[in-house]
């Protein structure tokens, strides 16, 4: 698994298109939100900015990057060749998505740390870590599911748009308007409860038990994504 991950990391940094779209753009967008935090804080909160940063990196970098990687490796038959080795299916998939996952976690940690330094520190760091990890797991699951519908790296630019734009739209909606209205709908949408969890962790004022209950919808989406991935994922190119 680690050898696959190392090889994949090298390939990622050699691919300029993936490097720019999956890593540079999310960082630039997140940096803009951090730089303009005083403007956005007038209509929302610091927790909202933290949530947007998290979902921007996880949607564009982690999710879209994982789908593109898996589609590319399927198209050039690398996935098929890997299955003929001693590595199991889980080890192969983990090795392929591990580099972009680690990079995304480093990006989120770095940007949120800088954000805390120029504003105020999150009220509950442990809860924030749990929220970020839950978001990462959900986006990886959705990436595996989407990869099953993606024929090529070029096709990934189309198939990833609904989820990428959707989770960011949900994060903005929940982060700005809160969950006092349409509570159940907002929490059940992908990214809704995770956004509320990040907001609660940064802004404080919510009991730990109440906040942890918000993990349930996010983990439910992980289960749904895993079921879809098991049904849709293909190891060989579609004919």
Span 18-44, mean pLDDT? 65
**Six token digits for residue 168:** 């960011």
The 3-state DSSP class for residue 125 equals helix
141 occurs within a structural domain: yes
Contact 77, 152 (CB under 8 A): no
Which residue from 88, 96, 92 is spatially nearest to 70, judged by alpha carbons? 96
- Amino acid 162: pLDDT: 93
93 occurs within a structural domain: yes
108 occurs within a structural domain: yes
pLDDT band at 178 (very low <50, low <70, confident <90, very high): confident
**Six token digits for residue 37:** 């935090």
121 occurs within a structural domain: yes
Range of the domain at 12: 2-232
| Number of domains the chain contains | 1
d(CA 69, CA 74): 9
CA distances from 58 to 46, 106, 189, 205, 209 (A): 19, 11, 16, 26, 25
- Amino acid 189: pLDDT: 92
**pLDDT tens for each residue of 81-93:** 877 777 677 888 8
d(CA 27, CA 124): 24
Q: Average pLDDT of the chain?
A: 83
237 occurs within a structural domain: no
190 occurs within a structural domain: yes
Q: What is the dihedral of CA 225, 230, 234, 239, to 10 degrees?
A: -90
Span 35-40, mean pLDDT? 61
d(CA 209, CA 92): 37
239 occurs within a structural domain: no
238 occurs within a structural domain: no
Residue in the block written with tokens 């599911």: 145
**17-31, 70-84, 101-115: which range is least confident on average?**
17-31
d(CA 214, CA 9): 33
Q: How many CB atoms lie within 10 A of CB 156?
A: 26
């Amino acid at each position: 698994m680690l050898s696959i991950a190392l090889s994949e990391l090298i390939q990622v940094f050699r691919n300029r298109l993936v490097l720019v779209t999956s890593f540079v753009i999310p960082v630039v967008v997140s940096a803009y939100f951090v730089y303009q935090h005083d403007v956005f804080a007038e209509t929302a909160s610091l927790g909202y900015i933290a949530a947007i940063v998290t979902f921007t990196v996880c949607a564009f970098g982690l999710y879209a990057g994982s789908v593109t990687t898996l589609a590319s490796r399927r198209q050039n038959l690398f996935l098929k060749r890997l299955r003929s080795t001693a590595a199991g299916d889980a080890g192969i998939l983990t090795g392929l998505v591990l580099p972009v996952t680690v990079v995304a976690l480093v990006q989120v940690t770095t940007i949120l740390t800088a954000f805390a330094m120029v504003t105020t520190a999150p009220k509950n760091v442990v809860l924030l870590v749990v929220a970020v990890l839950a978001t990462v797991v959900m986006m990886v699951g959705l990436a595996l599911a989407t990869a099953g519908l993606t024929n090529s790296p070029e096709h990934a630019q189309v198939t990833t748009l609904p989820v990428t734009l959707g989770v960011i739209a949900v994060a903005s909606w929940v982060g700005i308007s809160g969950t006092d209205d349409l509570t159940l709908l907002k929490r059940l949408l992908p990214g809704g409860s995770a956004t509320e969890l990040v907001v609660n962790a940064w802004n404080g004022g919510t009991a730990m038990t109440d906040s942890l209950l918000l993990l349930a919808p996010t983990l439910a989406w992980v289960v749904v994504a895993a079921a879809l991935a098991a049904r849709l994922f293909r190891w060989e190119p579609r004919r």
